[in-house]
Structure 1
């Protein structure tokens, strides 16, 4: 099963999700584990109103549209950790929910090396409409989940799951997985140590991205800003290109996150 099949399976399971509006989905909303999972780039779905944004089918399935494999890994982790999982069922080509609303690449007219004609010269009204469609409800829903857990006396560790390409603009990326952190390194340090213990070589520490690249918006907003332990995980997408890869990396990350919880004093 390829990554696009994982997406199709995810869309087919929408009816089983416990919460979410037209775009935002929440799996296992009542999960009692200490982890809260976020998957900003879970879906490549383009609602009919956006047409094809001027892109061919290959581009609409490519990494510029979503993070292949990330939702599959996230759903495995949700089950393993009894964790709520919040994700937008919308391509980041429509709007990138992991960017500040003032960011120039919030609605990309150029994504990596690909022009997106349907995003060129958008009026302010269309920008505002897209923010209201997905960005605002996604972040509102994350806030609601975290607030409800706090009211119930549950600890929350914010973990965002992403994937990345083996080659970016002609440059190879050797790391099979990257663990990203900013000021709060508690979860990242524990995860990196456990992944090394598992025998995984070349674990990226703030590689292939770092918060300074503008990719840490969601984790910063809902983790660091609330004083919650947090981390962002990037898995190279050739590692999770099928169901077996998704399951394998979910098991590895499950072990690493449980090690982090022990280090935080939150149990295994």
Structure 2
């Protein structure tokens, strides 16, 4: 059994934090890794949003394990990594500004007291605190890379999801999420299928129709750039060893199958399940 990681300690009293972190900005890979829900950090001025400390360890506050996998992929691929350093309970960086769950007052079955009846001024402050800096950092990275002659980005957003949601079991080991452009998704799905050991969800457990594709729509789809969103079931990436294994496996599949993806689409866009077993 691998060493079990602490799933992070909410730094409710920490002052030395930043809303976004960019690692390896000069990485030579075409891939740029994005981790929208990397952290469960609640800035001190918000207290705990009225939640128990245990709640801040749960998936409602972040995507457990996603940052560890993202960091492995950044190293393996020599890829830039952009991570949000603030909990999505403050503001969800992967939602448009008009989304009803931009600042969630209810997450699954948990009420977020500090987010109930939030006025527009307070929402704007949250956006300025975390959402705006995160997306500006992605945009700045793209401009800087272009100026240095680095490859146009192929964006890979890494997320994790809970095995059971609202009482419904999710059977997939991994989900590959994409819109009509599946230049990255199609070969990645094929590579996962070829391993014959994963139950792969295509646009499962979410799809762009669920409003979970905002970051990639904004930074990839809007510019005709290839992208994919990867969702890993979080009970499979609870240890450093598991995160290392998944990060290396995904990096290998991306390197072997998706270097310089050509323009065009293969047409897999509906919700499907592929069971490789």
Task: Answer yes or no: is the 8 Å Cα contact 1:194–1:255 preserved in 2.
Answer: no
* 2:231 maps to 1:234: yes
How large is the Cα RMSD of the aligned pairs? 1.7
Is 1:225 aligned with 2:227?
Answer: no
User: Which residue in the other structure is 2:86 paired with?
Assistant: 90
1:114-136 deviation digits (Å, cap 9, x = unpaired):
00000011121110001000100
The answer as to whether partners of 1:157 and 1:230 remain within 8 angstroms in 2 is: yes
The aligned residue for residue 124 of structure 1 is 120
> How far has the Cα of 1:174 moved from its partner?
0.6
Alignment of 1:31-180 (within 5 A): 31-153=27-149, 154-180=151-177
Superimposed CA distance per residue, residues 46-65 of structure 1 (whole angstroms, 9 cap, x where no aligned partner): 11111010111111110000
Structure 1: stretches of 5+ with no match in the other structure: 9-14, 16-20
In the TM superposition, residue 263 of structure 1 has moved relative to its aligned partner by 6.5
Q: Flag the structure with higher helix content.
A: 1
Structure 2 residues without counterparts, runs of 5 or longer: 10-15, 263-277
- How many residues of Structure 1 are paired with residues of Structure 2 in the alignment? 254
TM-score, structure 1 as length reference: 0.91
2:199 maps to 1:199: no
Distance in 2 of aligned mates of 1:81 and 1:197: 21
- State the secondary structure of the residue aligned to 1:86: strand
Partner residue, 2:13: none
For 2:6, the equivalent position in structure 1 comes to: 4
| From 254, 258, 261, the counterpart of 1:257 | 254
Q: TM-score, normalised by structure 2?
A: 0.88
8 Å CA contact 1:4, 1:61 repeated in 2? no
